[in-house]
Amino acid sequence: MPTVNAYIPQVSALIFETEEGVRKASACIEFGGWNADKATLTPIKVGALLAMPGAPTLTWVMDSLAAAVEAGRVDPETCLTQLFASPSDMRDMRAVLRDEGRELWLSDRHRSALLKLGASSIDLVSYADVAAFFDPA
């Protein structure tokens, strides 16, 4: 019986971990998010980021969240106020997740970060599924 060659599993790269991603990140950092050089998270102005043509909003927000959780910089009780500059930014992100994330599977690192913050694993399949996590109600 034919078999596949063994391989070493690779985790998904965050935007800060590739050369091209670092260029994209440098354009987004003014709107808040994860500063990889300083290992700090500042609240993200999603509405302002969405106004920037070609902004990788979904990737930027989710990678910022994952990096901050992996670094132990996020409090599960206040994670939404740590991540978003305002309630309207949170609403904007829910819309992004529902619209852009409908057909995208959740990355391993984003899923792990959300689980660490208390999300239910049943709700973590696609980015659209995650929108409810970002609802403070």
Tens of each residue's pLDDT in the chain, 137 residues: 778 888 888 899 999 999 999 999 999 999 999 999 999 999 999 999 999 999 999 999 999 999 999 999 999 999 999 999 999 999 999 999 999 877 888 999 999 999 999 988 877 888 998 998 998 76
In a domain, 10, yes or no: no
Residue 137: its pLDDT value, please?
65
In a domain, 3, yes or no: no
**Angle value at C-alpha 35, between 29 and 87, nearest 5 degrees:** 60
* Residues in Cβ contact with 116 at an 8 Å cutoff, skipping those fewer than 6 apart: 69, 76
In a domain, 111, yes or no: yes
In a domain, 66, yes or no: yes
d(Cα 51, Cα 97) in Å, to the nearest integer? Answer: 16
Domain membership of residue 59 as a residue range? 15-134
In a domain, 1, yes or no: no
Residue 18: its pLDDT value, please?
94
Residues in the chain: 137
Locate all alpha helices (DSSP H) within the chain, ordered by sequence: 19-28, 46-50, 57-70, 79-83, 87-100, 108-116, 127-130
3-state secondary structure of 131: helix
Indicate the number of domains in the chain. Answer: 1
